[in-house]
Amino acid sequence: MLTYAAYGLAIALNLMILFIGLRFLFVPRPAAAGYGVPAKADGDPAYLTIKGLRDGSYGLVGLTLLAFVGPLAGAWFMLVVALVPIGDTFVVLRHGGTRAVAFGIHFATAVVVLVSAALLFAVGT
């Protein structure tokens, strides 16, 4: 049962980050608003594309590790990648986003990613 929970949560998180990456690539301005820091109308859209590529790549790498390497590789990946939503928390706070978005979305995501890493470590050892 723990194996299903560990893999299920990890797969769901990686699919969600892949979705977020695709959203930044195809509808960047609404995606940026959902992130917590709306894009400026006259801003450089390359940064939104970079965010989409980054998030999409993380989702694909996570899924690939789970499928072809195993739970320990997935656990280490999730542990390291938890730094991204922690950083996103500070980005939102520093650039005028609300505390609710910073902590309710980004920091909470980091906590769930760390729980996922712990479950994968438990399954992999």
Please write the tens of the pLDDT for every residue from 16-32. Answer: 999 999 999 999 999 99
Cα separation, 27 vs 100, in Å, equals 23
Q: What is the pLDDT of residue 43?
A: 82
Q: Which two tokens stand for residue 67?
A: 């499928």
- Encode pLDDT of 87-104 as tens digits: 999 999 999 999 999 999
CA–CA dist 23, 33 (Å, integer): 11
Q: Over the stretch 54-75, which tens digit does the pLDDT of each residue have?
A: 999 999 999 999 999 999 999 9
Q: Is the pLDDT of residue 80 over 90?
A: yes
Domain assignments of the chain as residue spans, ordered by start: 2-124
DSSP summary character for residue 116:
H
Alpha-helical segments (H) within the chain: 2-26, 28-35, 45-68, 71-81, 83-94, 99-101, 108-124
- pLDDT given at position 5: 97
Three-class SS state of 96? coil
pLDDT at 125: 84
